[in-house]
Amino acid sequence: MAHLNETLTRIRYRIWPDHVVGEILSKPWMETAIPVLVLVATFAILSWLVPGFFTFAQLSIIAREGGELGFIVLGLSIVIMAGGVDLSVGSIFAVTNFIVLLLMHEYEWSAAPAVAVTILAGMALGAVNGILIGYLRLRAFLTTLITLIIFRAVYEIWTADHATAIAMSLPDSATWDFLGIGLIRGIPVNVWLFAAVALACHVLLTRLRPGWHLMAIGGSRRAAYNAGIAVRRTIALTYVASGGLTAIAAIFFGARLASVGGNIGVGMEVTALTAAVLGGITLGGGRGSVTKAIVGLAIVLIITNGMTAYSASGGAIRMTLAAILVAAAVIDIRWIKNRHRIISSVYVSPDYLYLPPPPSCEAKPGNAWAVNDTLRGVDVIGLGEVEGPEDVILDRNDNLYSGSRHGDIVRFLAPDYKRMEIFAHIGGQPLGLAFDREDNLNVCVGGMGLYQVSPAGEVRKLTDETNRSWTSVNDDSRLRLADDLDIADDGRIFFSEATRRYEMSEYAVDALESRPAGRIICHDPRTGSTRTVIDRLRFPNGISMCDDGQSFLFAQTSAASVSRYWFDGPKKGRIEVLIDNLPGYPDNINKASDGNYWVALVGMRGPALDLAMRMPGFRKRMTQRLPFDEWMFPNINNGCVFKINLEGKVLYSLWDPQGINHPMITSMREHKGWLYLGGLSNNRIGRYKLPESEADPAYVQYARRWGLPT
């Protein structure tokens, strides 16, 4: 039964891509997707409740109304995104509606100057808000509440005097009538204009400097000020924009209805605010888009028209909108507050991984894995000076190089390695190292990509991206954790990226997932191109060229295996597993002087974790319930170095059993009869004298690789 269960588990984790959920949720467009879903749902429900409601004629009416309200929503959204709020839009709407009707009906202006003056008037009314809030630093809420009352009072005084005159006369202007009822290609003229303005706003907010300033101010007013943005002016201008856009809405409204009734614009701020917040524009600023505003607008229009068709009263509609506003605001606040937690709790998605029981490391005669204490008494270089030498390498002058967690390449000078100097500063943590024919040091840098350091210490980026894979939700072209490399005879650099899902500091989370999220990439310096050559590997690592010049060895740390890949020759494209089911997790691989290969085991497998690897749900709950420091880990306090031949036979292994001198071994490099040891979380480099019978005392990897005399 347990067996069947496990088979089901394996199939379920092979078929269902758990990690996609987290990746989709962390997409920026997810925040627009939710309002869109609400829109679709509202649409579906209303077409079901009100048969024949969504005919073309009805939609056209809704669109014309939307073309008016839309300008207001757009203006209000801009204000909100900059961190403010404009409650006076309803009153500005009423006043500008009055002004345009006054000019057209009573003073009988022609349409063009009337429209221009009205828009200027709207901007002037907005400027009142803008000056008070932007320059005099009054609270947006109170200020616009006051101007709401004042503008409304002005409107009522003026209409008392002019209502009759406006109602008595009719302007004789074809342009004016066209604004009110005109269609272009069957679609109301104001919808066309709204589309154009919305597109312009979108470009402004996402592509132009003023838009970025505006979003920056909404995100953090103080930071924007410190960054040198003209905060006061920008804020003032948002209210001017809001007033102007409201005036445009009022012009279309006036042209259509020619009404100066008492309730014009009443409650409009609630409708517009509901649309903006429902679309996902956060009250408080810094987040939002034109798309969101339009989606919110569409939802509100459908609801109000649907309720009207259902013969709901205006009060009921406003009450509904207010309720929706509160609900949307609450959801928005909770979402922003918990978004990070929700994503992080679903992002980690462990995979099913079965590893058979590992070979025993008992100290029995004939056991190549027999634990010994050979590495207990090794010489120590740079104790306390070097931090995190993941890989070590020697040049042909015997100088010793390693990375450090400070983002440096450090160099210990031959012959005694007592003096340390900083060879180059890169910034990210250097991992794998390899010299090319021209003595350049090629480096895989965690979080940065593939870099090259010249013999003079100049740092140059080779590549930080590869081709994007078709099946990935996230853009995985950017390199996140390049970790080891080697160079082919023709100069092509093959390097591994351990995972595309996590950063350097989170490598352990990827190990816990054990998902095939890593890849091996080829950078060709002749063309400057970078292509992924092997995908879907479990923490690939330890690239080491074979002598045939057509293949290299690589390790898959999480899968506890070492494989060989042919990139040229008759077997081109083939991958063969050299050895699997290792007793630990392999890391770097490097050539030994006798033609075999050294492999480092960064940590050892244990039965408790091996069992957890077969229970992805268990691991998932573990990541959700426990803090990082409490998670069950591979035992990376203990490791070993072993030698393997190309037939996959393990020859012998070297150990530091309790990890007393070398708690973690991530790499080793043989040089002139010595074996140099590096470790990602160590504060030292080890140096072990190989027995004469097992090592060539003249061996220099550079010379062997590039065939030059030493």
Q: Which stretch binds other proteins (CB under 8 A): 65-73, 168-176, 472-480, 597-605?
A: 597-605
Asked whether the beta carbons of 584 and 602 are under 8 A apart, the reply is: yes
- Residue 622 beta carbon to other proteins: minimum distance, rounded to whole angstroms: 6
- Residue 500 beta carbon to other proteins: minimum distance, rounded to whole angstroms: 22
Q: Does 638 bind other proteins (CB under 8 A)?
A: yes
For residue 604, the surrounding DSSP H or E stretch is: strand 597-604
Count of residues in contact with other proteins, rule CB under 8 A: 40
The pair phi, psi for residue 53, each rounded to 5°, is -75, -40
Asked whether the beta carbons of 78 and 93 are under 8 A apart, the reply is: no
- DSSP string covering 205-271: HHHSHHHHHHHHHHH-HHHHHHTT--HHHHHHHHHHHHHHHHHHHHHHHHHHH----TTTTTTHHHH
Nearer to other proteins, 46 or 601 (CB): 601
Q: Does 12 bind other proteins (CB under 8 A)?
A: no
Cβ atoms within 10 Å, residue 397: 12
Cα separation of 184 and 196, whole Å?
A: 14
Q: Which stretch binds other proteins (CB under 8 A): 61-69, 320-328, 467-475, 611-619?
A: 611-619
Nearer to other proteins, 335 or 633 (CB): 633
Q: Which residue, 251, 288, 256, is CA-closest to 273?
A: 288
Contact code string over 665-694 relative to other proteins, x by CB under 8 A:
----------------xxxx----------
Q: Does 607 bind other proteins (CB under 8 A)?
A: yes
Cα separation of 400 and 413, whole Å?
A: 6
Nearer to other proteins, 65 or 390 (CB): 390
Contact code string over 80-119 relative to other proteins, x by CB under 8 A:
----------------------------------------
Of 26, 320, 399, 635, the one binding other proteins by CB under 8 A: 635
Nearer to other proteins, 588 or 682 (CB): 682
Q: Does 66 bind other proteins (CB under 8 A)?
A: no
- Residue 616 beta carbon to other proteins: minimum distance, rounded to whole angstroms: 12
Location of structure tokens 């900059």:
82
Nearer to other proteins, 329 or 371 (CB): 371
For residue 432, the surrounding DSSP H or E stretch is: strand 430-435
Nearer to other proteins, 281 or 636 (CB): 636
- Residue 632 beta carbon to other proteins: minimum distance, rounded to whole angstroms: 5
> Which tokens sit at 586?
């392999």
- Residue 388 beta carbon to other proteins: minimum distance, rounded to whole angstroms: 8
Cβ atoms within 10 Å, residue 672: 17
In the chain the first and final C-alpha atoms are separated, in Å, by 64
Q: Does 199 bind other proteins (CB under 8 A)?
A: no
| Region at 573 (left for phi over 0; alpha for psi -120 to 50; beta for the rest) | left
Sheet harboring 392-394: ordered strands across? 392-394, 400-403, 408-412, 420-425
Cβ atoms within 10 Å, residue 291: 17
| CA-CA-CA-CA torsion sign (288, 291, 294, 299) | negative
- Residue 94 beta carbon to other proteins: minimum distance, rounded to whole angstroms: 50
Say whether the peptide bond before residue 415 is cis (omega within 30 degrees of 0).
yes
Location of structure tokens 């069950």:
632
Cβ burial of 154 (10 Å; 0-12, 13-18, 19+) is middle
Q: Does 392 bind other proteins (CB under 8 A)?
A: no
Nearer to other proteins, 227 or 383 (CB): 383
- Residue 491 beta carbon to other proteins: minimum distance, rounded to whole angstroms: 37
Q: Which stretch binds other proteins (CB under 8 A): 166-174, 252-260, 599-607, 666-674?
A: 599-607
Asked whether the beta carbons of 693 and 389 are under 8 A apart, the reply is: no
> Which tokens sit at 192?
């066309």
Nearer to other proteins, 545 or 665 (CB): 665
Q: Which stretch binds other proteins (CB under 8 A): 12-20, 416-424, 475-483, 622-630?
A: 622-630
Q: Does 58 bind other proteins (CB under 8 A)?
A: no
User: 328-337 long-range CB contacts below 8 Å, 24 or more apart?
Assistant: 328/274, 328/277, 328/278, 329/277, 329/283, 332/277, 332/280, 332/282, 332/283, 333/282, 335/31, 336/282, 336/287
Nearer to other proteins, 522 or 615 (CB): 615
Nearer to other proteins, 441 or 636 (CB): 636
- Residue 431 beta carbon to other proteins: minimum distance, rounded to whole angstroms: 17
Q: Does 663 bind other proteins (CB under 8 A)?
A: yes
Nearer to other proteins, 70 or 583 (CB): 583
Q: Does 182 bind other proteins (CB under 8 A)?
A: no
Q: Which residue, 422, 430, 442, 588, is CA-closest to 504?
A: 430
Nearer to other proteins, 54 or 633 (CB): 633
For residue 416, the surrounding DSSP H or E stretch is: none
Q: Which stretch binds other proteins (CB under 8 A): 17-25, 84-92, 426-434, 621-629?
A: 621-629
Cα separation of 562 and 455, whole Å?
A: 32
Residues 501-530 that bind other proteins (CB under 8 A): 508
Q: Does 8 bind other proteins (CB under 8 A)?
A: no
The pair phi, psi for residue 233, each rounded to 5°, is -65, -45
Of 1, 2, 4, 57, the one binding other proteins by CB under 8 A: 2
- 264 alpha-carbon distance from chain centroid: 45
Cα separation of 373 and 480, whole Å?
A: 36
Q: Does 620 bind other proteins (CB under 8 A)?
A: no
Tell me the H-state helices in 56-107. 56-81, 89-101
- Residue 603 beta carbon to other proteins: minimum distance, rounded to whole angstroms: 8
Nearer to other proteins, 345 or 550 (CB): 345
Q: Does 368 bind other proteins (CB under 8 A)?
A: no
> Which tokens sit at 502?
């996590």
Of 164, 206, 313, 624, the one binding other proteins by CB under 8 A: 624
Q: Does 631 bind other proteins (CB under 8 A)?
A: yes
Q: Which stretch binds other proteins (CB under 8 A): 31-39, 96-104, 266-274, 608-616?
A: 608-616
Nearer to other proteins, 360 or 397 (CB): 360
Of 28, 627, 707, 709, the one binding other proteins by CB under 8 A: 627
- Residue 29 beta carbon to other proteins: minimum distance, rounded to whole angstroms: 28
Of 626, 698, 703, 708, the one binding other proteins by CB under 8 A: 626
Q: Which stretch binds other proteins (CB under 8 A): 48-56, 227-235, 450-458, 614-622?
A: 614-622
Q: Does 618 bind other proteins (CB under 8 A)?
A: yes
Cα separation of 633 and 51, whole Å?
A: 60
Q: Residue 602 is which amino acid?
A: V
Nearer to other proteins, 457 or 657 (CB): 657
For residue 705, the surrounding DSSP H or E stretch is: helix 701-706
- Residue 348 beta carbon to other proteins: minimum distance, rounded to whole angstroms: 13
Of 76, 375, 545, 636, the one binding other proteins by CB under 8 A: 636
Residues at the contact surface with other proteins, assessed by CB under 8 A: 2, 387, 508, 603-609, 611-612, 615, 618, 621-622, 624-638, 657-659, 663-664, 681-684
